[in-house]
Structure 1
Amino acid sequence: MKQFLTAILILLLGASVSMAQTPATAKPKAKTEKAAASTGTPLKKDGTPDKRYKANKTTATEGPKKKDGTADMRYKANKDAAKKKS
């Protein structure tokens, strides 16, 4: 009986080891990465836009922001930007 349980344990251990995760495959580039590459802006090694450069930074609002990073709509500059956007 001990030999039978030991054999079952070895089989289960071998099965769990064989189901280990495999490395992720390469993902296709997103549209934003292709757009950045076609405009000639600086890119990182992985092909994404390098946010250290002004050309790659995008700001949706001009005025002050809240702590969470969203526009503070109490200010006129943010209200005007929201009107232009819509």
Structure 2
Amino acid sequence: MAIRLIIEGTVQGVGFRHALATEATALGLDGWVCNRRDGTVEACLRGPQDQVEALAAWSRHGPPGARVTGLTRTVADDGEIAGNGFHIAATR
């Protein structure tokens, strides 16, 4: 299963990307997370449905200090998630 998340709110400058990457790695997911120039955080995740759903649920609140006000979820193309493991990508 592969999904793309766009997370809105106070999600930059609060450790959201690093915390999400830590959660994703603990769940054994592949993919990436990045800040976007519009102030949101974007993540593409791939893995077993239960683990992907767990990270999507975590993303609705994020780490302490984050204030998530919106979450958009769409199907991601597996081709967008190259390689294995989870990493923090450059700003988009």
TM superposition score normalised by structure 2: 0.22
User: RCO higher in 1 or 2 (8 Å CA, sep ≥ 6)?
Assistant: 2
TM superposition score normalised by structure 1: 0.23
Structure number, greater radius of gyration: 1
**Higher helix fraction (1 or 2):** 1
**Higher strand fraction (1 or 2):** 2
